[in-house]
Amino acid sequence: MELTYSNQLSGFDPEKRYRNPEHFDKPEAGVTSVLVIGDWPNVVDAYKAAGIDVSVKEAKRAQIVGVANQAELDKVIAALRAEHGSIEILVDGLEAGETHRPESGELALRLFEVLGTIHTTVGDLTAERDGLLSTVDSLHGEIEVLKKAAITPGADEADEVAALKARLDEAKVQYRANASKESLERLVADLPKE
| DSSP per residue, 162-184 | HHHHHHHHHTT----TT--HHHH
- Give the model's pLDDT for residue 166: 92
- Give the model's pLDDT for residue 182: 92
Q: What is the pTM of this model?
A: 0.37
- Give the model's pLDDT for residue 68: 67
- Give the model's pLDDT for residue 103: 80
Q: Are 52 and 31 in contact (CB under 8 A)?
A: yes
| Close Cβ partners of 18 (under 8 Å, ≥ 6 residues apart) | 3, 4, 5, 6, 8, 12
Exposed e or buried b per residue across 69-97, where buried means at least 16 C-beta atoms within 10 angstroms of its C-beta: eeeeeeeeeeeeeebeebbebbeeeeeee
Q: Distance from CA of residue 129 to its chain's centroid?
A: 20
- Give the model's pLDDT for residue 125: 94
**How far, in Å, CA of 43 to CA of 3, rounded?**
11
The bridge status of strand 33-37 relative to strand 53-57 is parallel
| Close Cβ partners of 188 (under 8 Å, ≥ 6 residues apart) | 164, 167, 168
**How far, in Å, CA of 174 to CA of 16, rounded?**
90
- Give the model's pLDDT for residue 66: 64
- Give the model's pLDDT for residue 71: 80
Strand partners, 54: 34
Q: Is the dihedral of CA 21, 26, 29, 33 positive or negative?
A: positive
Q: pLDDT tens string for the chain (194 positions)?
A: 899 999 888 888 999 999 999 899 999 999 999 999 999 999 999 999 999 999 999 877 666 666 667 788 788 788 888 888 888 888 888 888 887 788 877 888 888 888 888 889 999 999 999 999 989 988 998 898 888 777 655 667 888 889 999 999 998 999 998 999 999 999 999 888 76
Q: Are 16 and 55 in contact (CB under 8 A)?
A: no
